[in-house]
Amino acid sequence: MNISNLLNKEHFSKEELVQLLSCEGDEKTKIFEKAAEVKAKYVGKKVYFRGLIEMSNLCRKNCLYCGIRAGNTNVHRYDLTDEEVVEAAKFAWENRYGSIAIQTGEVNTTDFVERIENLLDKINQATNHELGITLSLGEQTEETYRRWFNKGAIRYLLRIEASNRELYAKLHPNDKHHDFDARVECLKNLRKVGYQVGTGVMIGLPFQTLEHLAEDLLWMQEIDVDMVGMGPYIEHPDTPLFQHKDTLLPINERFNLALKMTALLRIIMKDINIAAPTALQAIDPLGREKAIKVGANVVMPNITPGAYRNDYKLYENKPCIDDAADDCKNCLEARIQLTGDEIGYGEQGNSKHFCQRIANM
Ligand code: 5AD
Ligand code: SF4
Ligand code: FES
């Protein structure tokens, strides 16, 4: 089938998605145009901010690709104080970002669970309960998810990283802390508790094929996520997966694939929120803008206090490391203007998909 006809279909098979992921040139342009059209029609031309607070790089896990894995002793570990987190949240609120996202490695001690509960109270008090709070704090029990939800967190991000379980197994140690089914269970629990649920995958991983990526798209549709953040895999020298670096696609092709994935996801999941991942900008200075043009509608300006940004290095070449929160704000404002979209200042920018599914319940 030719690409224009294919793009008008309502549902796509794995084979069709593989075909679409292989497109280049004029055919690829058609995919990008279709994605832009779907975005304008279903979510509009607004981009929403999530002020990103990288609260701590402490992590109990050992994902084979990640620069802050527990086994990497070359990392300077840090943990922001509650005051620092609240300050950052206040910055987001005063600058009308609408939302924040708090990210850490995975810690699941009772102290940590309680600390987050109290922190949510402090943030909400300091910001008049007006910020939409997203958490990205890894795998936790259903009860923990519920406790945080009850304190006002409304969204949770937990990337599946790779939806094919064999591929997942190659990217993680073979132990009970890195269990594919447990991670899927977490996503189900998050949905049950009532969060807007976000997931995502890495693109251009060792061992990964176009079939895997097509499966990822169908899997995200199947579990009916409300938001997605996905970006290119960028190898980190202090990780076990680095040994496969010679088998990887060239970095610009990983970038290209990530844009096609973003566009196709927008086409198959019309009303979800899709983040333009920072990892894109690590490869191309205009990476996030390009993602916004082909379907992304969320960006996450880094508002972590400057002194810590260099230590939250999941991958190499991470952008904005030397910048202050104000710099990212001005920089992004100029950048988003160039895409022709506008920033949804003062709005939480919740997932339309989520609002719809709640209304239908
Ligand atoms: N390249 C790209 N993304 C990475 N992440 C972790 N390590 C890497 C890497 N080397 C992503 C994972 C994780 C998120 C916090 O960062 O998808 O979920
Ligand atoms: Fe920890 Fe997340 Fe990195 Fe895995 S990807 S090692 S859970 S921070
Ligand atoms: Fe951080 Fe451009 S977004 S400096």
- What digits encode the pLDDT tens for the residues 84-99? 999 999 999 999 999 9
6 part of a folded domain: no
Q: Please indicate whether residue 282, judged by its CB atom, sits closer than 6 Å to ligand 1.
A: no
pLDDT at 93: 96
Partner residues linked to 155 by β-bridges: 134, 196
pLDDT at 43: 96
119 part of a folded domain: yes
**Segment 200-256, tens digit of pLDDT:** 999 999 999 999 999 999 999 999 999 999 999 999 999 999 999 999 999 999 999
The total of structural domains in the chain comes to 1
The whole-number average pLDDT for the span 290-319 is: 87
Nearest-CA residue for ligand 3 atom 3 is: 328
Q: Which pLDDT band, with edges at 50, 70 and 90, does 277 fall under?
A: confident
237 part of a folded domain: yes
Q: Please indicate whether residue 161, judged by its CB atom, sits closer than 6 Å to ligand 1.
A: yes
317 part of a folded domain: yes
Partner residues linked to 343 by β-bridges: 47
Name the closest ligand to CA 313.
1
pLDDT at 272: 98
For residues 260 and 254, give the distance between their C-alpha atoms in angstroms, rounded to a whole number: 10
Closest Cα partner for 229 from 324, 123, 134, 342? 134
For residues 197 and 190, give the distance between their C-alpha atoms in angstroms, rounded to a whole number: 7
Q: Which pLDDT band, with edges at 50, 70 and 90, does 322 fall under?
A: confident
Expressed as residue numbers, the domain containing 337 is 43-359
User: Which tokens in the block code for residue 220?
Assistant: 């995200």
User: Residue 95 is inside which H or E element, if any?
Assistant: none
User: Which tokens in the block code for residue 43?
Assistant: 């979510």
The whole-number average pLDDT for the span 6-31 is: 96
Choice between 123 and 330, residue whose per-residue pLDDT is larger: 123
Task: Assign residue 168 the CATH number of its domain.
Answer: 3.20.20.70
pLDDT at 281: 85
- Ligand 3 center to 285 CA (angstroms): 10
Q: Which pLDDT band, with edges at 50, 70 and 90, does 328 fall under?
A: confident
5 part of a folded domain: no
Residue 71 confidence (pLDDT) above 80: yes
pLDDT at 91: 94
Q: Which residues contact 119 (CB under 8 A, 6 or more apart)?
A: 82, 85, 86
pLDDT at 210: 98
Phi, psi of 258 (to 5 degrees): -65, -40
308 part of a folded domain: yes
SS3 48: strand
User: Residue 41 is inside which H or E element, if any?
Assistant: helix 25-42
3 part of a folded domain: no
230 part of a folded domain: yes
Q: Which residues contact 360 (CB under 8 A, 6 or more apart)?
A: none
What residues does ligand 2 touch, defined as CB less than 6 Å away?
59, 61, 63, 66, 68-69, 105-106, 138
**Segment 107-166, tens digit of pLDDT:** 999 999 999 999 999 999 999 999 999 999 999 999 999 999 999 999 999 999 999 999
**Would you give the DSSP letter of residue 100?**
E
